[in-house]
Amino acid sequence: MTKNKLLKNISWLFFDKIIRILGGLFVGIWVARYLGPSDFGLLNYSLAYTGLFILFVNLGLDQIVIREIVKKSKLTYYILGTAFWLKVMGSVVAIISIYISLQFVEMDSITKIIILILSMGFIVQSVDVIDYFYQSQILSKYVVIARNSAFIFSSLLKVFLILQKYSVVYFAIAGIIDVILVAFFLFLIYEKTGGKLLQWRFSKKIAIRLLKFSWPLALSIFLISLHLKIDQVMIGNMLDIEQVGIYSIAVKLAEFWIFIPSILVSTLMPYFVNLRDTNNELYYYRLSQLYSLLFWMGVFVGGVTLIFGKDIIKLLYGEAYIDAYLALVINIWNGVFISQAIARGIWMINENLQIYRVYNNVLSVATNIILNIILIPKYGISGAAVSSILSIGVGTWIYPLLFAPMRNSTVMMIMSIVPINLIIRRRKK
C-alpha cells in the first residue's frame, strides 16, 4: 500500500468535505436563516429523533465489512450482498419502530410527519455498502463523485424551496431526495467501474459472522448517536423547539472539523489492518502519533473558536442565533475527545474488543442524561453543552480505565497528548 495512494485518497475525501462545508456555509446557513430558530429547531429535533433509531440502520457494519473485504477479497460479492440485505431488514425494523413510538409520544402532527418522512431514507441508505467497498480499496474518489453530485442537486433544490418560500416539510423531503440520489449515483459508478450488483449474494454464514463482530459496534454507534442526539431531544421536551434550533447551530459548528479525523481513520483503516500483522511495534507507534495529532488539532480549533466564535455566529447565522455562542465554546472541546475516540476505533476493531465500547458508552450516555436532567432546567442550552463535554470526556479518558483490556490503550492515548510523541518513537510495553 503506497503512501501516494493514501495521499490521493485523503485528498479526494478532503475535497468532498470542502465542497460540503462550502455548500453548508451557503445553502445550510441560508436554510437556517430562512426557517428561523423555531422551524429550524423543528427540523433538527426531527433529525435527532430519527437518529435515536440508528441502531437498526447501520448495524455497526461499516468498519467490519471493510476489514472482511481486505482479508477475504474473494468473498467480496457475498460480503457486500449479505451486508446490503442486513441493512435493508434493519431499516424496515427502524421505520416500524419509529411509527410505533410516535403513537406514544405527545407532539404536533407536523413534527410527526417530518419524522416519518426522514425515516423513509433509511432503506435507501442500504446502498452505502458500495461506499464500504471503495473504502476497502482506498478508492474514495468514486464515493466523493457520487455524493457530491447528489449534494449539488439537493442544494439547488433547497435554494429553490427558499426562493419559492416553501414550508419546513419540503426541506425534509429535500433531505430524502439527497439520500435517493446518493444511492443512484453510487449504483451507477459501481457498475461503470466493473462492479456487478446482480452478483451480490446473501450468505447466512457470513451474516452470522458479520453480526457476531458488528453487534457491539452497532450498539456502540447507537449509544454514541443517543449521546449526541439526546441533548436536542431533551432540550425540545424540557425547554422549547426554538432553543433546539439555537443549540443545533452550536453543535453543527462544533462538529465542522470532525470530518478530518473521520477521513484519516477511514483512509488509514486498511493500512493499520495490514500493519498490525506485519510490524506490531510500528503499529502502536503510528496509533500513538495519530492520537497526538488529533488531540492538538482539537486544541487549535478550540482556541480559535473561543476567540472568534461570536463573530462567526453573527456573520454566518445572524443575531437570531447569537445565544448559541456559549454552547459553541463549550461544545467545540468535545472534538478533542471525539477525534481520539474515533482513532481508537481502529485498535478496537483489530483486537475485536468492540464489546468494551458498549460498556463504556452505556456509562457515558447515563452520565449525559443525568447531567442533562440536572443542568438543562438551570442553565438552558449551556447546561446541555456542559453535560455533553463532561460525559464525553470521562467516557474517553476515565471510564475505559475501569476495564483491564482498555487500560494500556487509554494510557497510551492520554500520554500521546505530549507533542513530542509526534516525532519520538515509543516502544509498546
Our count of domains for the chain comes to: 1
pLDDT of residue 429: 40
On whether residue 393 sits in a domain, the answer given is yes
In this prediction, residues 314-332 reach a mean pLDDT of 89
pLDDT of residue 109: 86
On whether residue 428 sits in a domain, the answer given is no
On whether residue 29 sits in a domain, the answer given is yes
In this prediction, residues 295-303 reach a mean pLDDT of 89
In this prediction, residues 26-30 reach a mean pLDDT of 84
In this structure, are residues 365 and 401 in contact, taking their beta carbons and an 8 Å threshold? no
Please give the residue that has the higher pLDDT: either 14 or 154. Answer: 154
On whether residue 332 sits in a domain, the answer given is yes
Q: Which stretch, 274-283, 373-382, 406-415, has highest mean pLDDT?
A: 373-382
pLDDT of residue 198: 79
On whether residue 253 sits in a domain, the answer given is yes
Range(s) of the domain holding residue 211: 3-422
Query: Does the predicted model carry a pTM greater than 0.85?
Result: no
On whether residue 427 sits in a domain, the answer given is no
Please give the residue that has the higher pLDDT: either 426 or 89. Answer: 89
